[in-house]
């Protein structure tokens, strides 16, 4: 139930052993090794937990009401936490239900079908990744193991090092994972890529050896610059959802008729759909959906010549997960996400 | 120029001696003859004339504080009160008086009186002699010097002491030299001036604080203070009880209704017992226990900012380890004014939250739930799911792999693909 990501893995000519930046990234990876997940917990934090017998609509409302992207699901019949309910799951829900049900049935589904039942019957998602590195060479495609509804909950122990926690998230292609204390079987916090990045940014600001951040994106060669999944701004929202569903990317750039970038629609933007008119709102264009967000058509881009530290600062300050790489005319070149950055720092596959 | 009593600012009235009092002070310098207009009165009359409200205070049973005041006013003072029906108490609040002992330790033969601003210098209060075995020897040299006894006085004293030898001739009113004289009066808190009248002469006590009055006479000054509470703990407890009573009063409740301990009539846990109370004895109270004021505002649904939804404000330790339960459909939330009004059509009927410490940090868990589903709904759900599967099969070109059954879940009946 956790959202899979499909970020492109880094280009093949920088395997772990011969990465030219290994020495420089060592400082960050050793920093992550020293600190534990407990250190990343806020002093006074909050976790919203959802009962598995809640209806899908109620679960969505719980996420939206509390302003969160994910909530652990507690099943009282199994007496344990079974999954992590995220907004990405709701993209899947809405896409499926829109495709197969009438508007009345859609509404009824959301009111009746419980999270438990839906989780049992999720479609297995085959994942195929394509892409190419910056210089155009084709890249090995790794097919992610298919997720099915009965994987045990992937969690992070509070005493695990941040390096191990990041590896857990990256291996399973998750953007977030619950930090759980096994003794008391409680969820303490939802650890996200965004929080990890903020931690690294803050540390890098006062560390002396920040050579790694002075490099430009061009030198470092991370990010996805190959065939990107994009949509036109006139595409209806339900189609965007279905594209997001099938292709396993977590966000799509939105291009206008001239191929210039006007925005990025991500899976977490589904929270801005009006709760009482979901079916109808899926008929609007993605441009309207972008404008309906509180921050409207906010566009976060960077250039390939930007230094890593400015890009990371943008990601952290704007609380976004990915930034689009554009050229001078605002034409899309590629996408860089926190996933790519973390892989780069940790030097994992 | 502080002849007036500085007093304390809690609103209760104090006897205010005006500037004129000292000026009306008999125009005496030390060793002047005693004026005749000072009359000797009984203790009761003196105090009643000066402070009629003190008598009123004696009769009322208002809250005077935890301290026991030692009163010399006999309980038969009520007879004096009836004769003074015209006297109204000056204040309705009871006045706190404190015992003050006046002690003349330099000896006197005939009598010692004290007069002061506490009775407006209008009358003199007699001190009682406290005979001592040492008295037969007369004043010591130090005392003579200290009390500034004149040669005349010394002669008188010596004569008196000499006359002891004539015991046989002694009458009942034989004079004796007594060193210690004392009286304890109940005087309200404040600043007072006083002076002793020893054997017909105005004397001040050189040992205590003495100040000159406007005419150059030396008078003693004293400051009567309320006793400090034994410990700050008692003071804090008293403050707490005051607040509890205020809260109860505001709600119109009686203390006995809310703080009702078993085996306890007045609501104050007066005695210990070995009888285990039954549940009935706790049900006596009509109202549930009052929630402490810390919980008057729950911070569970607090304002969130984008990206910071998992942060809570720092909470005091008293809010931790309490379970909050809310069953209302929609708790009003503070939303940003710019945010569009959102509708929340789905019903999450039970919200529980609890804050607990985890090592050095706090974790607040908010649990959203609803009551158990009914079996009719389950059938409907199964129908929907079945339709979903069918649609997926016809839609997709690839066969959908069978859904893996969970080994642990014996209730998983519908997961089988058609």
Tell the residue number behind the tokens 């410990």, with chain if given. B231
Does a structural domain hold residue A91? no
Mean pLDDT of chain B: 64
Chain A 215-254, residues with CB within 8 Å of chain B CB atoms: none
Chain A 50-69, residues with CB within 8 Å of chain B CB atoms: 50-51, 53-55, 57-58, 60-62, 64-68
* Residue-level pLDDT at B65: 34
Which residues of chain B are within 8 Å of residue A66 when distances are taken between CB atoms?
304, 309, 366
Helical segments of B147-302, H only? 151-162, 232-251, 255-258, 279-282
Given a cut of 80, whether residue A260 has pLDDT beyond it is yes
Residue A100 in contact with partner chain B when CB distance is under 8 A? yes
Cβ contact (<8 Å) for B370 and A58?
yes
Percentage of residues in chain B with pLDDT exceeding 90?
1
ipTM score for this prediction: 0.83
Does a structural domain hold residue A132? no
Shared domain check, A247 and A312: yes
Domain span at residue A168 reads: 34-43+154-203
Element (H, E) at B53: helix B52-59
Shared domain check, A290 and A168: no
Give the largest Cα separation in chain A, rounded. Answer: 61
Closest CB to A275 among B342, B370, B409? B342
Cβ contact (<8 Å) for B415 and A120?
yes
Shared domain check, A158 and A39: yes
Mean pLDDT of chain A: 83
Element (H, E) at B56: helix B52-59
Cβ contact (<8 Å) for B346 and A47?
no
Residue A180 in contact with partner chain B when CB distance is under 8 A? no
Give the closest residue to B72 by CA, choosing from B91, B92, B93, B97. Answer: B97
Residue of chain B whose Cα is closest to the Cα of A296: B339
Shared domain check, A290 and A333: yes
- Output the CA–CA distances (angstroms, integers) from residue A231 to A238, A289, A297, in the order listed: 12, 13, 15
Cβ contact (<8 Å) for B401 and A124?
yes
Cβ contact (<8 Å) for B344 and A61?
yes
Cβ–Cβ < 8 Å for A37, A31: no
Does a structural domain hold residue A158? yes
Which residues of chain A are within 8 Å of residue B398 when distances are taken between CB atoms?
126
Which residues of chain B are within 8 Å of residue A60 when distances are taken between CB atoms?
346
Does a structural domain hold residue A305? yes
Which residues of chain A are within 8 Å of residue B369 when distances are taken between CB atoms?
51, 53-54
Give the closest residue to B389 by CA, choosing from B403, B407, B375, B379. Answer: B403
* Residue-level pLDDT at A255: 92
Cβ contact (<8 Å) for B345 and A112?
no
Cβ contact (<8 Å) for A58 and B368?
yes
In this predicted model, which residue has the larger pLDDT, B157 or B101?
A: B101
Which residues of chain A are within 8 Å of residue B401 when distances are taken between CB atoms?
124, 146
Residue of chain B whose Cα is closest to the Cα of A120: B415
Given a cut of 90, whether residue A226 has pLDDT beyond it is no
Tell the residue number behind the tokens 């709904």, with chain if given. B377
Closest CB to A57 among B346, B385, B395? B346
Give the closest residue to B195 by CA, choosing from B184, B211, B179, B180. Answer: B211
Q: Of the spans B138-142, B163-167, B383-387, which averages the highest pLDDT?
A: B383-387
* Residue-level pLDDT at A336: 92
Which residues of chain B are within 8 Å of residue A92 when distances are taken between CB atoms?
none
Given a cut of 50, whether residue B159 has pLDDT beyond it is yes
Phi-psi category of B11—alpha, beta or left, where left has phi over 0 and alpha has psi -120 to 50?
left
* Residue-level pLDDT at B408: 39
The nearest CA of chain A is from the CA of B289 a distance in Å of: 29
| pLDDT tens-digit series, residues A37-82 | 999 999 888 899 999 999 999 999 999 888 889 999 999 888 889 8
Which residues of chain B are within 8 Å of residue A94 when distances are taken between CB atoms?
none
Residue A26 to residue B196: CA distance in whole angstroms: 92
Shared domain check, A270 and A334: yes
Does a structural domain hold residue A273? yes
Residue B319 in contact with partner chain A when CB distance is under 8 A? no
Shared domain check, A300 and A278: yes
Cβ contact (<8 Å) for A61 and B346?
yes
Closest CB to A68 among B309, B345, B408? B309
CATH number at residue A190: 3.10.580.10
Shared domain check, A184 and A161: yes
The nearest CA of chain B is from the CA of A219 a distance in Å of: 31
Residue A260 to residue A324: CA distance in whole angstroms: 12
Cβ contact (<8 Å) for B309 and A46?
yes
Residue B362 in contact with partner chain A when CB distance is under 8 A? yes
Label each residue of chain A as H, E or C. CCCCCCCCCCCCCCCHHHCCCHHHHHHHHHHHHHCEHHHHCCCEEEEEEEECCCEHHHHHHHHHHHCCCEEEEEECCCCEEEEEEEHHHHHHHHHHHHHHCCHHHHHHHHHHCEHHHHHHCCCCECCCCCCECCCCCECCCCCCCCECCCCCCCCECCCCEHHHHHHHHHHCCCCEEEEEECCCCEEEEEEEHHHHHHHHHHHHHHCCCCHHHHCEHHHHCCCECCCCCCEECCCEHHHHHHHHHHHCCCEEEEECCCCEEEEEEEHHHHHHCCHHHHHHHCCCEHHHHHHCCCCCCCCCEECCCCEHHHHHHHHHHHCCCEEEEECCCCEEEEEEEHHHHHHHHHCCC
Which residues of chain A are within 8 Å of residue B363 when distances are taken between CB atoms?
41, 45-47, 186, 188-189
Structure tokens at A71: 């909530």
Cβ–Cβ < 8 Å for A308, A212: yes
Residue B347 to residue B343: CA distance in whole angstroms: 11
Between β-strands B39-40 and B123-126, what pairing exists: parallel, antiparallel or unpaired?
Answer: parallel
Cβ–Cβ < 8 Å for A214, A309: yes
Shared domain check, A232 and A263: yes
| pLDDT tens-digit series, residues A130-141 | 455 555 554 444
- Reported as a pLDDT band with limits 50, 70 and 90, residue A179 is very high
- Using the CB atoms, write b or e for B216-253: b if 16+ within 10 Å: ebbbbbbebeeeeeeeeeeeeeeeeeeeeeeebeeeeb
Cβ–Cβ < 8 Å for A165, A158: no
Shared domain check, A169 and A217: no
Q: Find the mean pLDDT for residues B177-194.
A: 85
Q: Domain count for chain A, please give it.
A: 2
- What backbone torsions phi and psi does residue B51 show, to the nearest 5 degrees? -130, 80
Which residues of chain B are within 8 Å of residue A67 when distances are taken between CB atoms?
304, 306, 309
Chain centroid, CA A119 distance in Å: 20
Structure tokens at A141: 């495609």
Cβ–Cβ < 8 Å for A162, A199: yes
Structure tokens at B354: 């609890």
Shared domain check, A193 and A241: no
Residue B332 to residue A155: CA distance in whole angstroms: 33
pTM above the 0.80 mark? no
Where among A139, A173, A203 does a domain terminate?
A203
Where among A163, A187, A203 does a domain terminate?
A203
Burial class (CB in 10 A: 0-12, 13-18, 19+), B171: exposed
Residue B355 to residue B358: CA distance in whole angstroms: 10
Does a structural domain hold residue A192? yes
Shared domain check, A234 and A159: no
Cβ–Cβ < 8 Å for A72, A81: yes
Q: How open is the CA angle A52-A55-A59, to the nearest 5 degrees?
A: 75
Residue of chain A whose Cα is closest to the Cα of B353: A48
Give the closest residue to B207 by CA, choosing from B221, B192, B190. Answer: B221
Between β-strands A301-302 and A322-326, what pairing exists: parallel, antiparallel or unpaired?
Answer: parallel
Does a structural domain hold residue A303? yes
- Reported as a pLDDT band with limits 50, 70 and 90, residue A116 is confident
Shared domain check, A334 and A227: yes
Cβ contact (<8 Å) for A64 and B372?
no
Does a structural domain hold residue A171? yes
Where among A183, A203, A223 does a domain terminate?
A203
Residue of chain B whose Cα is closest to the Cα of A56: B346
């Amino acid at each position: 139930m956790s959202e899979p990501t499909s970020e492109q893995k880094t280009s093949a000519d920088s395997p772990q052993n011969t990465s030219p930046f290994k020495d420089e990234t060592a400082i960050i990876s050793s920093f992550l090794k020293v600190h534990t997940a407990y250190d990343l917990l806020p002093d006074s934090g909050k976790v919203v937990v959802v009962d598995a017998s809640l209806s899908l609509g109620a679960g969505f409302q719980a996420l939206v009401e509390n302003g969160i992207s994910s909530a652990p699901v507690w099943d009282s019949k199994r007496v344990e936490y079974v999954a992590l309910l995220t907004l990405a799951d709701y993209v899947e829900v809405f896409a499926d239900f829109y495709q197969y049900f009438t508007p009345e049935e859609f509404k009824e589904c959301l009111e009746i079908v419980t999270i438990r039942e839906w989780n049992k019957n999720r479609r297995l998602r085959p994942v195929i990744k394509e892409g190419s590195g910056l210089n155009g060479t084709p890249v090995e495609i790794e097919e992610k193991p298919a997720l099915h509804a009965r994987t045990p909950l992937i969690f992070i122990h509070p005493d695990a090092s941040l390096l191990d926690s990041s590896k857990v998230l990256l291996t399973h292609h998750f953007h977030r994972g619950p930090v759980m204390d096994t003794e008391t079987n409680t969820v303490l916090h939802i650890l996200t890529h965004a929080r990890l990045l903020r931690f690294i940014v803050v540390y890098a600001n006062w560390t002396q050896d920040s050579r790694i951040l002075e490099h430009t994106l061009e030198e470092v060669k991370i990010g996805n610059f190959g065939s990107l999944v994009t949509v036109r701004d006139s595409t209806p929202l339900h189609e965007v959802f279905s594209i997001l569903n099938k292709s396993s990317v977590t966000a799509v750039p939105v291009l206008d008729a001239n191929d210039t970038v006007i925005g990025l629609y991500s899976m977490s933007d589904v929270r801005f759909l009006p709760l009482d008119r979901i079916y109808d709102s899926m008929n609007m264009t993605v441009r309207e959906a972008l404008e309906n967000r509180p921050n409207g058509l906010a566009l976060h881009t960077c250039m390939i010549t930007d230094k890593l530290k400015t890009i990371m600062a943008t990601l952290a300050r704007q609380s976004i997960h990915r930034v689009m790489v554009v050229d001078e005319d605002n034409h899309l070149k590629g996408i860089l996400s926190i996933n790519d950055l973390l892989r780069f720092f940790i030097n994992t596959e | 120029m502080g002849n007036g009593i500085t007093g304390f600012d809690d609103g209760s009235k104090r006897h205010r001696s005006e500037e004129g009092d000292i000026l009306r002070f008999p125009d005496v310098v030390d060793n002047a003859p005693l004026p005749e207009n000072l009359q000797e009165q009984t203790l009761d009359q003196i105090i009643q004339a000066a402070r009629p409200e003190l008598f009123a205070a004696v009769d009322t049973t208002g809250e005077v504080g935890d301290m026991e005041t030692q009163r010399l006013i006999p309980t038969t003072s009520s007879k004096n009160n009836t004769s003074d029906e015209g006297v109204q108490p000056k204040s309705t609040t009871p006045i706190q008086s404190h015992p003050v002992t006046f002690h003349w330790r330099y000896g006197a033969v005939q009598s010692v009186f004290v007069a002061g601003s506490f009775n407006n210098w209008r009358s003199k209060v007699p001190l009682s002699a406290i005979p001592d075995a040492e008295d037969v020897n007369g004043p010591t040299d130090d005392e003579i010097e200290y009390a500034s006894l004149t040669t005349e006085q010394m002669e008188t004293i010596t004569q008196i002491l000499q006359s002891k030898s004539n015991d046989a001739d002694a009458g009942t009113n034989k004079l004796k030299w007594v060193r210690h004289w004392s009286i304890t009066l109940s005087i309200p808190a404040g600043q007072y001036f006083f002076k002793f009248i020893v054997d017909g002469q105005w004397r001040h006590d050189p040992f205590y604080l003495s100040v000159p009055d406007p005419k150059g006479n030396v008078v003693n000054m004293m400051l009567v203070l309320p006793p400090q509470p034994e410990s700050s703990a008692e003071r804090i407890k008293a403050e707490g009880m005051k607040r509890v009573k205020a809260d109860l009063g505001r709600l119109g409740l009686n203390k006995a209704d809310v703080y009702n301990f078993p085996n306890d009539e007045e609501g104050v846990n007066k005695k210990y017992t070995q009888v285990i109370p039954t549940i009935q004895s706790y049900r006596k109270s009509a109202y549930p226990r009052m929630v402490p004021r810390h919980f008057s505002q729950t911070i569970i649904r607090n304002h969130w900012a984008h990206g910071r939804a998992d942060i809570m404000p720092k909470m005091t330790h008293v809010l931790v380890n309490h379970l909050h339960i809310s069953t209302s459909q929609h708790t009003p939330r503070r939303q940003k004014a710019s945010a569009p009004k959102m509708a929340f059509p789905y019903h999450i009927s039970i919200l529980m939250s609890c804050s607990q410490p985890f090592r050095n940090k706090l974790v607040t868990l908010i649990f959203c739930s609803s009551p158990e589903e009914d079996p009719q709904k389950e059938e409907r759900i199964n129908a929907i799911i079945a339709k979903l599967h069918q649609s997926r099969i016809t839609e997709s070109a690839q066969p959908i792999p069978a859904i893996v059954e969970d080994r642990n879940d014996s209730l998983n009946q519908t997961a089988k693909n058609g």
